[in-house]
């Protein structure tokens, strides 16, 4: 995982019994390329994590002056308690 983290604003969508809701958090994130998929990206979020980020279905992240968004395709909890979200851009 990348050790280069930047301060970011993250909006993430959750599916609930009442429909999709969006939550927002300011946190550190790292961006990585996804092997074998030049269009997707991985978003790495170090601990401490927002309590329900592991249930995110969509993300919009503003980092280093860029806005990235997409659908979460896979979430992995890493050994250091961080999360890696594989995101397919919209």
Q: What domains appear along the chain, each with residue ranges and CATH number?
A: 6-89 (2.40.10.270)
* pLDDT at position 2 over 80: no
pLDDT for the residue numbered 53: 97
* pLDDT at position 76 over 70: yes
Cα 84 to Cα 11: distance, rounded to the nearest angstrom: 15
Q: In the predicted model, what is the mean pLDDT of residues 60-76?
A: 96
Q: What is the pLDDT of the chain when averaged over all its residues?
A: 93
Q: What residues does 72 pair with on adjacent strands? A: 87
pLDDT for the residue numbered 68: 96
Q: List pLDDT tens digits, range 39-54.
A: 999 999 999 998 899 9
């Amino acid at each position: 995982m990348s050790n280069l983290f930047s301060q970011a604003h993250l909006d993430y969508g959750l599916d609930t019994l009442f429909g999709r809701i969006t939550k927002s958090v300011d946190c550190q994130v790292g961006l990585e390329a996804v092997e074998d998929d030049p269009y997707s990206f991985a978003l790495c979020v170090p601990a401490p994590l927002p309590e329900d980020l592991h249930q995110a279905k969509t993300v919009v992240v503003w980092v280093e002056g860029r806005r990235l968004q997409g659908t979460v395709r896979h979430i992995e909890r890493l050994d250091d308690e961080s999360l890696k979200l594989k995101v397919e851009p919209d």
